[in-house]
Amino acid sequence: MNFDWSKYFNAENLENLIVALIIIAIGTVIIYAIQSLVKRLLPKSMSKQRQMIVTRLINYTGYIILAFVVIAEMNINLTPFFGAAGIIGIVLGVASQTSIGNIVSGFFLVSEKSFEIGDVVRIGDKSGVVYSIDLLSIKIRTFDGLLLRIPNQTVISSEVINVTKFPIRRLDFNIGVAYKEDLRRVRELLEQIARQNPLCLDEPEPLIVFKEFGASSINIHLGVWFEKANYQAVKNSVFLDVKETFDREGIEIPFPHVTLYTGEVTKPFPIVKKEDTEAKG
């Protein structure tokens, strides 16, 4: 059976194809030019998330219009496709229930504005910087440089913590000191550490709470406020300040240990090495 190629590749169709390719090239350039112009005209105060939504709307709308223009230029009869499209639509509708759920959840996420591009978030046991908010999922860049994709339905049904939503936040330290220490003196030293650290804020005031009598230490909660961009520097500097100050002032930070003791009238049993016992004997 010989296929009549001349029916499709005649001079008229070839001319229409060339015109369609030119339209696609010019249309693509126009779409990118409009995107670039709109980006410049958008106010600086607009969030990155909304800027992304605006540019994507321009992108999708532009290509849809371009597709209709090309179809009209090529004189393509779409009637035979409508019947098949109905059947394909039913199949896709059943198969894409999850995708539709993700799209709907995506609209809720955008309208809720719980987080934006560039925010540090914790979703379940995952954390990182929001890299992209798309129709079906959000993408997070983890702190070890991995790209993590989380479906919108999972995000909308999970606990989401926005670490960098507010300009300042509090960093908490759990510190243990020996039972023999003067707690008033320890409190003064911790207040001094927070006050002298240039990265810690004076307002709100640092939080110092005696938490509990632990198994081998009195546990103290120290909370210092700082600007969110200084998280790593504050964590390291306060940690070092506490250790160096306690060492200088002779404040003991105990570690777990075991003492054998039989009652009030006896002293703790000393632990003696076998070699020492043999030497004395």
pLDDT in tens, 1-49: 454 545 555 666 677 777 778 888 888 888 888 888 887 887 777 666 6
In a domain, 95, yes or no: no
In a domain, 197, yes or no: yes
Indicate which CATH number applies to the domain containing 180: 3.30.70.100
φ, ψ of residue 117 in degrees (nearest 5): -60, 130
pLDDT for the residue numbered 89: 57
In a domain, 280, yes or no: no
Averaged pLDDT for residues 123-133:
88
In a domain, 190, yes or no: yes
Indicate which CATH number applies to the domain containing 140: 2.30.30.60
φ, ψ of residue 152 in degrees (nearest 5): -60, -35
Closest CA to 116 of 63, 48, 170: 48
Averaged pLDDT for residues 169-176:
93
Alpha-carbon distance values, 178 to 188, 190, 220 (Å): 16, 15, 11
Average pLDDT value over all residues in the chain: 79
Residue 62 CA to residue 56 CA, distance in Å, equals 10
What tokens appear for 70 in the block? 């090309």
In a domain, 58, yes or no: yes
Encode pLDDT of 88-120 as tens digits: 555 555 545 566 677 777 777 777 778 888 889
- Count Cα atoms within 13 angstroms, Cβ side, for 186: 22
In a domain, 274, yes or no: no
CB 157 within 8 A of CB 217: no
pLDDT for the residue numbered 88: 57
pTM summary value: 0.58
Kind of pairing, strands 160-162 and 120-123? antiparallel
Encode pLDDT of 213-224 as tens digits: 988 899 999 999
Query: C-alpha angle with apex 232: 226 to 238, nearest 5 degrees?
Result: 65
Domain range for residue 121?
115-162
Domain boundary residue, one of 25, 46, 76: 76
In a domain, 57, yes or no: yes
CB 281 within 8 A of CB 219: no
Is pLDDT at 172 greater than 70 in this prediction? yes
Structural domains in the chain (count): 3
Residue 43 CA to residue 203 CA, distance in Å, equals 32
- Between 89 and 55, the more confident residue is 55
Alpha-carbon distance values, 198 to 67, 261, 273 (Å): 59, 47, 49
Q: Of the given ranges (40-54, 121-135, 242-256), which has the lowest mean pLDDT? A: 40-54
Averaged pLDDT for residues 65-77:
74
pLDDT for the residue numbered 5: 47
In a domain, 156, yes or no: yes
pLDDT for the residue numbered 3: 45
Asked if residue 33 and residue 17 are part of one domain, the reply reads yes
Closest CA to 152 of 144, 160, 142, 143: 160
Asked if residue 190 and residue 242 are part of one domain, the reply reads yes
